[in-house]
Every structure is written in structure tokens, then in C-alpha cells.
Amino acid sequence: MGILALGTHFIIELRDCEDSLLLNDTEEARKVLIEAAQKSGATVLFPGVYFHQFSPHGITGIVPLAESHLTIHTWPEYCYAAVDIFVCGGKVKPNLAARYIIDKFGSRDPKINEIERGLNLGPHKPEQGGGDLPGCEVVSGTKGPPPFIERWAKFPVLAGAGQNAGFFMGSR
């Protein structure tokens, strides 16, 4: 039993970026994310690449991939960017894309959370309250969900080098 890994999701915090001008430059940020995707071995779906400039500052952008996507949202006034890298399949190396993006934006305090996305191959027991979330471990007890959440699922997460943690997702 265990997890059938279908993809890897990096959630990246680019804090204390050296180049706040890059954080506000749609063309350069677009170039960095496309290059990062290519360096990782991903296939960029060019007609779908889209970046938007906010006023007075900040950008958002998506680079769709045959294997999933890279996204960015920036706050130049805080020297900060939030980046997602989600890839499926075994040939793409998201760590190469992450390192490239961190280096290009000059983040002096980056943080990466890696989530293994996939299916729990353990037995599904609807009587545990999993509802339509097959294979999810349902968490209950005093440390369970807030009262407004009816279903609470715990998914495996790699929190950092050698650390494991839980990622909780609730729905009504």
C-alpha cells in the first residue's frame, strides 16, 4: 500500500529578493519562468503562457506545461514572490527549475515546501467519514477540523529536509 505519486508540487516563497525591478518586469519574469521550465526538462505550451502587470506594481503569470504548470505572483514593494511548480511524470526535475528561479530573483531567504500529489492506495472505509474523498485518512478528535468543515483529510507532505508534516484540506 502507500501513495501512488502522480506529481510533485513545489510551493516556493521567494523572500528578500535582491532585484525588486525584476519582480515588476513581466517580460523578464516570463523569460525566467520559461527558461526554468526548459532547464527542468518540461515542455512549455507557448500559446498559453500569460503574464499580467498590476498597477501600481506587481505581476502574475502562468507558464502551462504539458506536465502541468509554473506560476508566479509578485509583491515588489516587499521584495517577495510566490511561485508554484507542479509537474507530473518522471522526466521533469522541478528542483532544477526551483534553483534557477531562486537564483535569478536573488532570493536571500527562500523557502520550498514539496508536496507529493497522488492517490492513497490504502483501503477506503466510507464509514470513517471520508465521504467522496476515497483513500483519505480522516482526522478526528479534539485536534480535528474547525466546526465549519464537515470533512477533513490529511495528505502526506514533505516539509523540509528530512521533516514530515501533514497537509490538511477541508471542504463543506
Joined grid coordinates for residue 104: 535569478
Kindly report the backbone phi and psi dihedral angles of residue 33, in degrees, each rounded to the nearest multiple of 5, phi listed first.
Answer: -70, -40
Which amino acid, residue 65?
L
Report the greatest alpha carbon distance in the chain: 54
Q: Which residues are catalytic?
A: 68, 73, 88
Which stretches of the chain are DSSP H helices? 26-40, 94-105
- In terms of Cα–Cα distance, which of 92, 88, 72 is closest to 22? 72
